[in-house]
Each structure stands twice: as structure tokens, then as C-alpha cells.
């Protein structure tokens, strides 16, 4: 997809951080924008800021982990804009802690938002894009945590790896069509991610109060410090836009982890050397006369 002008984007988690950066980058390119987000107050401000710069924008309160809520949000965007050409599966959350200590409900929350949220989007918008037949694109915000283990924890890393795998399968399934597929793997982008527990729905345990959760408080302090030095989300959005124009499956924000990823792949490749080097011991044949 190279022509953005007059087309419509549906961006989950669009009220803040990277989602809003994507919205601003695509608004600059002349797109109409639907922001779908669970945080109503942030949505109001985000939509107002887009409209102030002359963009046709709507905000839709939605929980991407809930398929019925997602369906209603998609219907609203489609009744406002008629067609959607760009889907940004961007909403994401993390719960840190050791794998064996994280509550079942937090596993369900993270998998629900990061992975099922993406799947709900694909199940609605791929058939829609195929039906209208115009050049379209799907970009999903994974993370460097989709490329190597992350300090953001097991549920986050597992879902971000899954988003990469799902995007690679989707690219194969849509090969030869005019629907492009990208997976965005950013590193450190300024956002409200450190305090993402603010948006945990009641069915997964409700908003996380750092004053009552020392683990969450420590996580917010560490991640906020790191996040302050992050990339401007608008620049992240512009990098994604360029990746889509060049039909890139993988889009990165930073080059500084190239060596870490190369080391990981080299460790994987060396496991194949083990396969080649290993000669299984041949089981001695029992003699016919033995015993
Ligand atoms: N900021 C970074 O450094 C960084 C790095 C790698 C990946 N990411 C990924 O980028 C994406 C955006 O995160 P961000 O950093 O901009 O954080 P953010 O908290 O600023 O934005 C995330 C948005 O998702 C929304 N959201 C949360 N749960 C939702 C739900 N159930 N339904 C709909 N919306 C929901 C939030 O309200 C928020 O507006 C996430 O997928 C995150 O994992 C961020």
C-alpha cells in the first residue's frame, strides 16, 4: 500500500503512545483515523488533537480482548468511513514477574489483549479488505520482546513472539493479494506503557494500584526511567509508514540490538551443527545364539 490519502485506518490502543504516533503519521499522509481504545478519557484528547490538525477522526471505546466489544468498534468505524484499508493491531499490556508467580488472570489479560486482540482484528478486517478489494495493509505492533526474551516478563514475551509468528503466517496466506503484512518490533518508545496496569479490566482483576502492589511500583519506576529516553512516538509512526510503503514484513525502530538478535540466531544455528555432529550409538545386535 503506497497511497494513503483519503483511506481509513483502524488503530487499536490509539489513544496513547505508539498508537497515537501511528495515528499522527497516517493523518499527516491524509488518512481518516479511527482510534479504538479502552481508555475513554485519553481517547477524547487524542481525537481532539487529530481533529485540530484537520484530520477526520473518531474515537471508539473498546476492549480488544472482548470479541463482542471489538465487533461493535469495527462496525462503528465501518459505518463512519465505509471501508478500512489499514489495520494497526497495536493495543498491548504487560505484567512482569516470574512465570510461575504471575496470576492466571494476568496471563489471561496479557494473552487476551496482545494476542487475541490481534486475532479478533484479523478475523474482522481481513475478510472486509478482501471484499472491498482495494490495496490495504495490516501492521501489528509486536516488540523486540518478539525477537528475544524480555525483562517485561513471560506473558509479554510469549505473546509478542506469537504476534511475529502469526504475522509470518498471515503474510504467507495473503501472498499474491493486495493486502500487505508487517510486524513492527520497536525497542524503546516514549509512552504510558510503564503504567499499563491502569487499564486492566475488572474481569482480569481491575486497575493495578501501584500503592498497593510493590512489584508494580518497582516496575513502573524502572520502566519509566528507561522510557523517558525513548524515541518520539511520531517518529515511530513515520518509520512504520515507510516500512509499509516498502512492503517490509519486519519493521524495527532501533538498530542497536542487531548484534543481540544475530547472537540468538547463531545459537539456534549452532544447535543444527549438534544434529550433524551427533552420531547415534548403534545398538549392538543380539546374536541369534546368545542367551
Ligand atoms: N513503548 C515501548 O517502548 C514499546 C516497546 C515495544 C513494544 N511496545 C508495544 O507498543 C504497543 C503500544 O504500547 P505503548 O508503548 O504505546 O503503551 P501505551 O500504554 O502508551 O499505549 C497502549 C494503549 O493500549 C490501550 N489498551 C490497553 N488495553 C486495551 C484493551 N484491552 N483494549 C483496547 N485498548 C487497550 C491503552 O489504553 C493505551 O492507550 C503495545 O503493544 C506495546 O506492547 C511498546
Residue in 106, 68, 70 with CA at minimum distance from that of residue 91? 70
Span between the terminal Cα atoms of the chain, in Å: 74
Ligand 1 atom, smallest distance to 188 CA:
3
Establish if 286 belongs to a structural domain.
no
DSSP 285: P
Cβ(89) to ligand 1 under 6 A?
A: no
Q: What is the CA radius of gyration of the chain?
A: 22
Structural domain count of the chain: 1
The least confident of 139-148, 220-229, 242-251 is 220-229
> What's the gap in Å between 92 CA and the centre of ligand 1?
4
Q: Residue 283: inside a domain, yes or no? A: no
58 in a structural domain: yes
Residue 190 lies in a domain: yes
pLDDT of 213: 86
Is 21 near ligand 1, meaning CB less than 6 Å away? no
Tell me whether residue 290 is in a domain.
no
Distance of CA 216 to the CA centre of its chain: 22
d(CA 216, CA 204): 16
Q: Of ligand 1's atoms, which has the minimum distance to the CA of residue 112?
A: 31
Whether residue 5 has pLDDT greater than 50: yes
From the number of C-beta atoms within 10 Å of its C-beta (0-12, 13-18, 19+), residue 99 rates as exposed
Q: What is the CATH number of the domain that holds 147?
A: 3.40.50.720
Question: Does residue 68 sit within a domain?
Answer: yes
Q: What is the pLDDT of residue 217?
A: 87
What stretch of H or E contains 9? Answer: strand 8-12
Whether 161 sits among the annotated catalytic residues: the reply is no
Single out the catalytic residue among 81, 109, 156, 184.
Answer: 156
Among 199, 227, 2, 248, smallest CA distance to 91 is for 199
Looking at residue 219, its pLDDT comes to 82
167-224 pLDDT per residue, tens: 999 999 999 999 999 999 999 999 999 999 999 999 999 999 989 888 888 888 888 8
Distance CA 23, CA 61 (A): 16
CB 63 within 8 A of CB 69: yes
**Ligand 1 centroid from CA 76, angstroms:** 22
Tell me whether residue 291 is in a domain. no
Residue 262: give the domain boundaries: 8-277
Q: Determine the 3-state secondary structure of 262 from DSSP.
A: helix
pTM for the model stands at 0.95
289 is a domain residue? no
Residue in 12, 17, 63, 186 to alter for ligand 1 test, most ligand atoms within 8 A of Cβ:
17
Amino acid at each position: 500500500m503506497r497511497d494513503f490519502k483519503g483511506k481509513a485506518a483502524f488503530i487499536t490502543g490509539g489513544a496513547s503512545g505508539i498508537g497515537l504516533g501511528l495515528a499522527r503519521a497516517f493523518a499527516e499522509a491524509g488518512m481518516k483515523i479511527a482510534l479504538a481504545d479502552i481508555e475513554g478519557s485519553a481517547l477524547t484528547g487524542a481525537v481532539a488533537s487529530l481533529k485540530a490538525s484537520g484530520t477526520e477522526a473518531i474515537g471508539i471505546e473498546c476492549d480488544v480482548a472482548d470479541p463482542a466489544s471489538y465487533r461493535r468498534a469495527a462496525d462503528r468505524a465501518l459505518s463512519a468511513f465505509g471501508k478500512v484499508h489499514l489495520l494497526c493491531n497495536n493495543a498491548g499490556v504487560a505484567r512482569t514477574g516470574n512465570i510461575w508467580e504471575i496470576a492466571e488472570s494476568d496471563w489471561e489479560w496479557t494473552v487476551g489483549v496482545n494476542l487475541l486482540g490481534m486475532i479478533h482484528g484479523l478475523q474482522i478486517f481481513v475478510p472486509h479488505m478482501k471484499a472491498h478489494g482495494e490495496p490495504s495493509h495490516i501492521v501489528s505492533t509486536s516488540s523486540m520482546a518478539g525477537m528475544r526474551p524480555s525483562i517485561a516478563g513471560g506473558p509479554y514475551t510469549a505473546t509478542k513472539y506469537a504476534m511475529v509468528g502469526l504475522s509470518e503466517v498471515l503474510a504467507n496466506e495473503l501472498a499474491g493479494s493486495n493486502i500487505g503484512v508487517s510486524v513492527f518490533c520497536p525497542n524503546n518508545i516514549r509512552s504510558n506503557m510503564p503504567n499499563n496496569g491502569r487499564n486492566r479490566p475488572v474481569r482480569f482483576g481491575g486497575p493495578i494500584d501501584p500503592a498497593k502492589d510493590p512489584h508494580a511500583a518497582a516496575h513502573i519506576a524502572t520502566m519509566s526511567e528507561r522510557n523517558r529516553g525513548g524515541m518520539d512516538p511520531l517518529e515511530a509512526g513515520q518509520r512504520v509508514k515507510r516500512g509499509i510503503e516498502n512492503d517490509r514484513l519486519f519493521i524495527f525502530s532501533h538498530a542497536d540490538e542487531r548484534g543481540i538478535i544475530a547472537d540468538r540466531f547463531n545459537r539456534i544455528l549452532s544447535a543444527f551443527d549438534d544434529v550433524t555432529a551427533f552420531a547415534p550409538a548403534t545398538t549392538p545386535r543380539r546374536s541369534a545364539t546368545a542367551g
